[in-house]
Amino acid sequence: MAQFDVLPVNQIAGKATMDSMPVRCRSCGVRDTALCASLGDGELSALHDIGRRRIIPAGQVVSWAGDPNAICANIVRGVLKVTASMADGREQIVGLLYSGDFVGQLFAEESSLTVIALTETDLCCYSRTSFEHVLDDFPRLERMLLKRTMSSLNDARERMLRLGRQNAQERVAGFILDVALREGLEDEEGELNVVLPISRGEMADFLGLTIETVSRQLTRLKTDGVIAFAKGDRVCTIPERERLEAIVNPF
């Protein structure tokens, strides 16, 4: 298990009480979208008491496949890459996790996936065993976790279906749109601005394409004015989201 700078949440947020929401939780940017959104103030304090804040640099491994499954976490800020090892030793990207998502494999003693920070990431981390005990005390949290797990499975199935039916341009456009809807910022002119979290090679791996095909499709989208790149090939601007959506969903 990788080591990070760890700060107790109660040192960051101030002393929590059972009849008020902890300060860090009150100011949390994903308070309404993270797993703990299902909790009341008192329940949130109980979860807060077992939590720790971890700031993870970009490129740092959060957990390795095969290691003891020690932690789970809510992502407060940042993007994580989830990979699985194939029989021939290659790594396959199986998912990207964003602010508000939950990371971790509960009720498993060993991690089966490797999780890596793509950007500097702020996590609210919990001991897996302690978190499982909290689930026993708060059925609403357990139901919310089950609901989110089922939603993730449905999203994975839909992604597999889309990739099987979409052409290369639709796959690339769909990826950009997905990231924009999760992490994009809209400016005063109504344009969406997004930093693509992975390289073209990783995008090709994720979408089941070659890097040459991804590069051609990005160039085509740029030439057609659907997207623009402000700096390098990571900072992307979407002038009109409707045009990108029309490519992803042509019918």
Confidence grade of residue 11 (pLDDT, cut at 50, 70, 90): very low
* pLDDT tops 70 at residue 18: no
- Helical ranges in 4-62 per DSSP H: 9-13, 23-26, 41-49
Q: Nearest-CA neighbor of 75 among 130, 146, 3, 124? A: 124
Report angle CA 25, 22, 69 to the nearest 5 degrees.
60
Residues 75 and 12 in one domain: yes
What 183-190 contacts at long range (C-beta under 8 Å, 24+ apart), as own/partner pairs, is 183/79, 183/98, 183/99, 184/238
Residues 11 and 126 in one domain: yes
pTM of the entire predicted model:
0.82
Residue 32 domain flag: yes
The arithmetic mean of pLDDT across residues 27-52, rounded, is: 80
Residues 127 and 212 in one domain: no
Residue 161 domain flag: no
Residues 228 and 176 in one domain: yes
Q: Which has the minimum average pLDDT: 35-44, 80-89, 136-145?
A: 35-44
Contact 126, 71 (CB under 8 A): yes
Chosen domain end from 155, 187, 210: 155
What is residue 34's predicted lDDT score, i.e. its pLDDT? 85
Query: DSSP states of 150-193 as a string?
Result: HHHHHHHHHHHHHHHH--HHHHHHHHHHHHHHHH-EE-TTS-EE
Residues 145 and 185 in one domain: no
Chosen domain end from 155, 182, 210: 155
Contact 68, 111 (CB under 8 A): yes
Residue range of the domain that includes 214 = 166-248
Q: Which has the minimum average pLDDT: 4-8, 23-27, 130-134?
A: 4-8
Q: In this structure, which amino acid lies at residue 46? A: A
Cβ–Cβ contacts within 10 Å for residue 241, how many?
Answer: 17
Residue 160 domain flag: no
Tokens representing residue 117 in the block: 């920070």
- Report the C-alpha gap between 29 and 174 in whole angstroms: 26
- State whether residue 242 is helix, strand or coil: helix
- Report the C-alpha gap between 168 and 210 in whole angstroms: 10
Residues 62 and 98 in one domain: yes
Residues 37 and 148 in one domain: yes
Residues across the chain: 251
Residues 99 and 199 in one domain: no
The arithmetic mean of pLDDT across residues 150-174, rounded, is: 88
Confidence grade of residue 35 (pLDDT, cut at 50, 70, 90): confident
Q: In this structure, which amino acid lies at residue 120? A: E
Residues 213 and 142 in one domain: no
The arithmetic mean of pLDDT across residues 4-14, rounded, is: 40
